[in-house]
Amino acid sequence: MVLNIPALYPGYGINAQQDRQRRAVTAQRPVFIPENTDIDIISRDVNTVRNIVEQGTERGSDLFSIIRNGWNNLTARIDNLDENSRALRHTENALFGLSVIPTFRRLNSLPKDIEEDHLARAGMMLGVTAASLPGDGREVMFAAKDIGNIYRSGGHLSALQGNAVRNSYQHGLALFKGTLVEHLIDLNKHPWLQNLDRTLYDTRFGEFTRRIFNIKQIDFMKRIVGGREIAALKFGGNWAQRLGGRALLRTPILGLALAAAMEVPALVKSAMVEGSFIDKAGSFTKQLCKSAAFVGMVQGGISLVGGAAVMMFPAAGAVAALAGMAIGSTGAVILSKAVNKQIDKLFD
């Protein structure tokens, strides 16, 4: 009690000098701490955490549940993204493998559109594919007929001389002819629509290209396609000139317009990003470059590689054309992904 008087009654406290002396003695007094104190503290903390996790107080249990549920949800989302990515890759590979069939070839970029959240373009693509089913079916029938001819010739393409001569001519590929649009709309009653469904060969760009590269028609013949009599042209000159003429005839301008229209939703979406006008303009320009590259590469790949395949294997006819267009479109889709990455780097 006496020792506690200064604390209880500060008025009876010792003077400052005595207080300093007392503090100095206390500081110099050795303090004996057990050597394993730190280990005991760590062990205690570990046991506390273990108790919270395994048994826990009410607060600890709730906290652990929140952390555990959050982790489970995160891993589930990651797994789901991984599964969706794998599913898209499998779908893309399957479409590439089946792209020799025109219907699947048209859907080559569908996984890419879904992955990039271009759902409007994917929907438009599905609509175009559905409308093109009659014409695509006819092309598959032509290919099946050529396969039968090749089989009956014992695999000797030289025996199919008539087929080779016929396929040295190229007729114009139209967008409406052979599709559901032709069955729903009588094109004879709408000549302006029929005249609009032309190929790149008949445009000013086609005339300019033919003049620059000296692409000349040397012959023509009549051919029945889809119940219609149309002209098929034969080109002279070197291999590149003949391929250029074929490619122009194999590119319908409405097909180009439709491919460009499919890019409009992506362009609109790119212009609606958050940020300043400069940010919106940059995003729109980047998407415009991507869209232009994609449309140009896909259309060019289909027309050029398809035409080249027929030129190299004229006796195979429709089989060569379908295989060439499949290779061209698949290569274009793969190449467009690489180009998109470079465009992203350029604008970042």
Query: Partners of 5 in the beta sheet?
Result: none
pLDDT score of 12 more than 50: no
Q: Residue 7, Cβ neighbours under 10 Å: how many? A: 9
pTM of the entire structure? 0.67
Q: What are phi and psi of 215, to 5 degrees?
A: -90, 120
Q: Categorize the per-residue pLDDT at 1 as very low, low, confident or very high, splitting at 50, 70 and 90.
A: very low
DSSP letter at 314 equals: G
Q: What is d(CA 233, CA 214) in angstroms, rounded to the nearest whole number?
A: 15
Three-state SS at 228: strand
Q: Are strands 228-235 and 170-171 parallel, antiparallel or unpaired?
A: antiparallel
Each residue's pLDDT tens digit, 303-336: 999 999 999 988 888 888 999 998 998 899 889 9
Q: What are phi and psi of 252, to 5 degrees?
A: -70, 135
Q: Where are the beta strands (DSSP E) in the chain?
A: 170-171, 217-225, 228-235
Top pLDDT among 191 and 106 is at 106
What residues contact 134, with CB distance under 8 A and at least 6 apart?
A: 178, 179, 180, 183
For the chain, how far is it from start to end, CA to CA, in angstroms? 78
pLDDT at 179: 64
pLDDT score of 159 more than 60: yes
- When the pLDDT of each residue in the chain is averaged and rounded to a whole number, the result is 75
Spans of all domains in the chain:
37-85, 103-347
Instruction: Concatenate the DSSP letters of all residues of 172-207 into one string.
Output: PP-SSTTSHHHHHS-GGG-HHHHHHS-BGGGSHHHH
Q: What is d(CA 51, CA 44) in angstroms, rounded to the nearest whole number?
A: 10
Buried b (16+ CB within 10 A) or exposed e, 63-77: eeeeeeeeeeeeeee
Long-range contacts of 121-128, Cβ-Cβ distance < 8 Å, separation of 24 or more:
121/262, 121/263, 121/265, 121/266, 124/261, 124/262, 124/265, 125/262, 128/258
Q: What is d(CA 164, CA 158) in angstroms, rounded to the nearest whole number?
A: 8
Q: Which of 248, 255, 241 is nearest to 303 (CA)?
A: 248
Contact 290/263 with Cβ under 8 angstroms? no
Contact 94/231 with Cβ under 8 angstroms? no
Each residue's pLDDT tens digit, 49-68: 455 445 544 444 454 565 55
Question: Which whole number is the average pLDDT over 188-213?
Answer: 84
